[in-house]
Chain A
């Protein structure tokens, strides 16, 4: 059972902006960094955002993220058809002494 809660779906038309929330608690998001992963069907996840808000090399600038308290969010601006994928937040949880993933959000480009 995931301890990080995300909306199951989000959608937008090309060019629009989409924001995905990730709600946690003091033992995870509230005290540790948040990372975001992108996963296309049938493929391995890809690191999209690390250390709350940093884009690894090669990740387009239209992807951004932030964190406030025990919640985090991922924003996609200028939505493109190739952004249609599943997105997961993740953080270390000191009570569980392990990583936890969000429930995942499927982004659809209309």
Chain B
């Protein structure tokens, strides 16, 4: 079956790095995504990685994928208070057309 798991909470201090982890069960996942949701708002796509990649970096964000362990992580460098939000890991299984399967989200709290 399809399942995406995330830890529910992460608390860090401003300026530290944050690492949000995600595991998925379906080895046929093609794309894996990270979305950010601020309170009362919709989802903002942060980044995504194709399943044949190990790493993707985009400014302060680094995504690491361990396909063997079905483990995905999002590292946010120099975390700021504006990064406080819920972060969702998601996967899609096909070439195009089907919906995303989401984890329950990790609430990141950044203290100054």
**Are A and B interaction partners?**
no
Listed in ascending order, the chain B residues whose CB lies under 8 Å from chain A are: none
Listed in ascending order, the chain A residues whose CB lies under 8 Å from chain B are: none
